[in-house]
Each structure stands twice: as structure tokens, then as C-alpha cells.
């Protein structure tokens, strides 16, 4: 600050001069929406990446023989994989919605100003997506438990 600022800044009240202990959370970024959206984006991204590697390999088995491919795909029709599929869709849902939020923060002129509100909207849309998909997937898992692997 220039020394000759002509006293435009009033001296801060005495109460505000108290030095607060450093905090890890509750600052502008740390422990707030900005940080947690980033953490979730990384975790879901890594999970989706490793599924993608496996998914390209399992699909490639269509090139070996129909029976080999059907055998591998049948393992996807087990109840435990139905649960995995549910969490995959949940992870993709968050990564997609928060990814669109990141794009709006970067390219929309007032995006950064509304990042916190957009995070709330992302979470709400995510809940709607999960609520829409869960009954469908529970139905699938129940049918799989009952042994309906091939309709």
C-alpha cells in the first residue's frame, strides 16, 4: 500500500486487529464447496477411468467368439455387479454435472461468481438423477437375484 494514501482507509476497529489462529477449513477454498467439488471430481474420475479400461477389454471379447463374449457379459448380470453398476452411474452423474459446472465457471462471464450456487444445483440434480435411476436398478438387481440373467 502506498504510504501517502491520504487516509482514505479508516484504521480498522481495535476488535478486528485480534489475530485469529490459522484454520485449515472454513477459508474461501479449503473445507468449502470449491474444495469438496474438486475432491469428488477426482475420486469419481479415477473410478470411471479404471472401469473404462476394463470395459474396453471386456467389449473387445466380441471379436473372439459370441460364446466367449456372452460368458463375460453374463458376469455383469450378477447382483453384485448390479450394485457396482449403480455406483458407476452415480459417479458418472456427479462427474458429468460438476464437469458442466467447471465449464460454466471457466467460460461464462459470471460463472466464477456463482460457483457456490452452481455446486448446490449440481448436488440437487445429482440427487434427482440417483432417485430416478435407483428404482430401475433395484428392479434389475432383484431380477438378477431371482436368476433372470437372460430375458
Binding positions for another protein, rule: CB under 8 A: 42, 45-46, 48-49, 52-53, 56-57, 59-60, 62-63, 65-67, 69-70, 73, 76-77, 82, 85, 89, 92, 96, 99-100, 102-103, 106-107, 133, 136, 140, 143-144, 148-151
CA dist 143 and 41 (Å) reads 32
**CB of 28 or CB of 53, closer to another protein:** 53
* Shortest Å distance, C-beta 22 to another protein: 23
**CB of 114 or CB of 137, closer to another protein:** 137
Task: Pinpoint the alpha helices (H) of the chain.
Answer: 33-60, 66-76, 79-107, 115-145
Q: What are the two backbone dihedrals, phi and then psi, of residue 147, each rounded to the nearest 5 degrees? A: 95, 10
Contact 8, 14 (CB under 8 A): no
Amino acid at each position: 500500500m502506498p504510504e501517502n494514501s491520504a487516509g482514505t482507509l479508516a484504521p480498522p476497529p481495535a476488535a478486528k486487529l485480534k489475530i485469529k489462529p490459522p484454520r485449515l477449513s472454513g477459508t474461501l477454498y479449503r473445507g468449502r464447496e470449491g474444495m469438496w467439488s474438486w475432491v469428488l471430481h477426482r475420486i469419481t474420475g479415477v473410478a470411471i477411468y479404471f472401469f473404462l479400461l476394463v470395459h474396453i477389454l471386456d467389449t473387445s471379447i466380441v471379436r473372439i467368439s459370441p460364446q466367449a463374449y456372452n460368458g463375460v457379459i453374463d458376469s455383469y448380470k450378477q447382483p453384485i455387479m448390479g450394485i457396482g453398476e449403480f455406483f458407476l452411474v452415480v459417479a458418472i452423474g456427479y462427474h458429468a454435472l460438476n464437469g458442466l459446472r467447471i465449464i460454466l465457471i471457466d467460460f461464462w462471464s459470471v460463472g466464477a461468481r456463482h460457483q457456490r450456487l452452481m455446486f448446490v444445483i449440481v448436488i440437487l440434480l445429482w440427487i434427482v438423477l440417483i432417485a430416478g435411476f435407483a428404482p430401475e436398478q433395484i428392479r434389475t438387481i432383484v431380477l438378477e437375484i431371482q436368476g433372470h440373467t437372460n430375458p
